Chain A
Amino acid sequence: MDSRRRILDALRTASAPGAPAPDLSRVGVRWEDPVARLAEAVAAVAGKLVRVPDRSALPAAVAALATELRVARVGSAVAEVPGNVDLASISDPHLLEGLGLAVLPGAFAVAENGAVWVPCDAIRPRGAFVVAEHLALVVAARDVVHDMHEAYRRISFPGAGFGTFIAGPSKTADIEQALVIGAHGARSCTLYLVG
């Protein structure tokens, strides 16, 4: 008998009692001002939120960011933002090494925790979101959801089925609980909220 059969049989004979489908009607949080709450949440995860009036303002904003961060190589998957690295043409993610700033589109942002949902079709190669030294995410202000329940209602996994919530830059507190921003992923994360 193969292990799959053995395991499933063992789990069946365990006869754990059936339990009712969980009642999720009492969970969830709504904010009076989700965008204001989002700004607090992004700061709390060591990100930076920048409001931008419309998408045409993005190129200048990103250029300024790149100057501020002193990065030369900028790769963008956001139509309005030109970069000098053509991300779509990179088939080997190892070639992302040295990418100073990746500009990626977020589907929405979550007010309760400052996280941005970045689905896979937005990122080619996938590694751009983590190999880049710095990260900029672009989300429309009307695409701010209240909490994770609302977030997951909006999520599906088409195509290659990868998606990630990104909340601020990479970080660690593994050495004496001292918070260090910039572990293996991005050293900074700027969220452009458009509109």
Chain B
Amino acid sequence: MSHGSAPAPAGGHPEAAARFVANEARTHWHDQALWFVREKRDKAASLVPDWEELRIAAAAIRAYQRGRLPELLEEFERNAVARGAKVHWAADAAEHNEIVHRILDERGVRRLVKSKSMLTEECGLNPYLEARGIEVVDTDLGERIVQLRQEPPSHIIFPAIHLKREEIGVLFHDKLGTPQGLSDPTKLTEAARGHLRERFMRAQAGLTGVNFAVAETGGVVVCTNEGNADMGTSLPPLHIACMGVEKLLPRLEHLAVMVRLLARSATGQPITSYTSHFHGPIEGGELHIVIVDNGRSRLLADTALRGLLACIRCGACMNTCPVYRRSGGYSYGWVVPGPIGSALAAARDPASHATLPFASSLCGSCDGVCPVRIPIHDALLKERRTLAARGLIPPGKRFALAFLALVLRYRAVYEAGGRILRFALRHLPRFVLYGPWNVWGRRRELPPAPKESFRDTWRRTRAAGGRSRG
């Protein structure tokens, strides 16, 4: 049984992250695994002479799309329907699930295979269908692994990146009957191939996400390395493709830009093994396209944050984020984690995700790797302002900073405060300075405090208007 949206951890990101970090060796292993992907991305991008121009073009394509999304969706629908696809519209997650279920139920489908779709995770599709007697098999290897473990994916491209091969070996021994102690990735993958092949052969329908939809042609594009989306859509006659409204591209020429950026940003490959373009149903079959809003129109209306809709779900921001690498996908409590996930979750529901815009040092590396140039760290900063304006900042923090701001408004108060601070740092006994109230002091020494501040020295050594003699 797979999982819908992960529930937000009670203490939010800081508490979940602290638990993750407590296992330092494992955190370093996780961090290194994701840094490795970042390095592969760098290598791939360095081989593309027009990389930075591509990103600029991609950002422009998304901005152009945002400015005419309703017309483009209508054009897409016309062209898709002309090709024999059926197009459905879902205002929210509940409607999306109902539509998918109805399509399956009307045709007596009891066995569904799925390829990766973060949208269906967002809508909680799997548990919805399973509760109604439909077997749902996630066929992406990483997704299948976490499905068998009854866990959500921890990364949108590498769902099982938080797991070691030995743990997957134990899982496969238990669920697939592989030999005990087998942990070789090639052999485990081979076992999964056989296990899932059987599911592909028996499936009555295949459900995929949509990487890109093209208004000009009415087609949907699905990119995979494993071939699972193609297995799932070539064998059973029924294909359901679920897409958020923001997945649309205006013209085929825009697809060229995106396809050149996607795999390089996500995994460091020049392109995925399969980039399949679907227009209309397979011979003797049906193609249903479900277009989903679920809060996207609200985000489009947000002048400060609408740029987040450009996201192509590549995961590059996660791989470069020093915080994500050291806290893992489960610390974020939303289906998409990391920088873009924090921004999207907090845009959707600030109160439930109040810690996420602060789960960032604002280093800005995410902006730099984003193939569509979303200013993610700016968005996080804006969301902090929204949280403050709505009184969703912890009162202690708000009070401390407001007090500090007051002190800083008056030179005499600031100077006196500085003197007191330095005196305290130099003279208070260690057990007082490093009491439990001192969060900084848990793992760090406080800075040594000088006797003189800069301005003390300046005043002492400079006569009025003269140059330094000291």
Question: With an 8 A cutoff between CB atoms, is A2 at the interface?
Answer: yes
A11 and B73 contacting across the interface, CB-CB below 8 Å: yes
Q: Which residues of A contact B142 (CB under 8 A)?
A: 172, 174
Question: With an 8 A cutoff between CB atoms, is B207 at the interface?
Answer: no
What per-residue 1/0 map shows which CB atoms of A25-67 lie under 8 Å from chain B?
A: 0111100000000000100110000000000000000000000
Chain B at the A interface: SS class? helix
Interface residues of A in 127-166 (CB under 8 A from B): 127, 129-131, 147-149, 151-153, 155, 157, 160-166
Question: With an 8 A cutoff between CB atoms, is A79 at the interface?
Answer: no
18 A-B pairs within 8 Å (CB atoms) are namely: A3-B89, A7-B73, A14-B306, A27-B50, A27-B53, A93-B235, A148-B271, A149-B257, A152-B255, A160-B279, A160-B280, A161-B279, A165-B275, A165-B276, A167-B275, A176-B185, A177-B36, A185-B230
Could you say which of B253, B260, B271, B293 contacts A45, with CB atoms under 8 Å apart?
A: B271
Give the CA-CA distance A63 to B37 in the complex, in Å: 39
Interface residues of B in 158-196 (CB under 8 A from A): 158-161, 163-165, 168, 185-186, 188-190, 193, 196
Give the CA-CA distance A113 to B268 in the complex, in Å: 12
Residues of B within 8 A of A (CB): 33, 36-37, 48-50, 53-54, 56-57, 60-61, 63-64, 66-70, 73-74, 83, 89-91, 95, 139-142, 145, 158-161, 163-165, 168, 185-186, 188-190, 193, 196-197, 200-201, 217, 219, 225-228, 230-231, 234-235, 245, 252-257, 259-260, 267, 269-280, 282-283, 291, 293, 297-298, 300-301, 306
A131 to chain B, nearest CB (A): 7
A11 and B230 contacting across the interface, CB-CB below 8 Å: no
A45 and B165 contacting across the interface, CB-CB below 8 Å: no
B343 to chain A, nearest CB (A): 17
Q: With A19-B63, A162-B279, A182-B189 known to touch, is A112 a contact of B300 (CB < 8 Å)?
A: no
Chain A contact residue count (CB 8 A cutoff) = 75
**A178 to chain B: closest residue by CB:** B185
Question: With an 8 A cutoff between CB atoms, is A100 at the interface?
Answer: no
Q: Which residues of B contact A4 (CB under 8 A)?
A: 89
Question: Nearest 8 A-B pairs (CB), nearest first?
Answer: A185-B227, A161-B279, A127-B234, A113-B270, A10-B297, A183-B226, A174-B142, A22-B60
Give the CA-CA distance A8 to B259 in the complex, in Å: 27
B297 and A45 contacting across the interface, CB-CB below 8 Å: no
Question: With an 8 A cutoff between CB atoms, is A73 at the interface?
Answer: no
Q: Which residues of B contact A166 (CB under 8 A)?
A: 273-274
Q: Which residues of B contact A183 (CB under 8 A)?
A: 141, 189, 193, 225-228
Give the CA-CA distance A30 to B333 in the complex, in Å: 45
**A189 to chain B: closest residue by CB:** B273
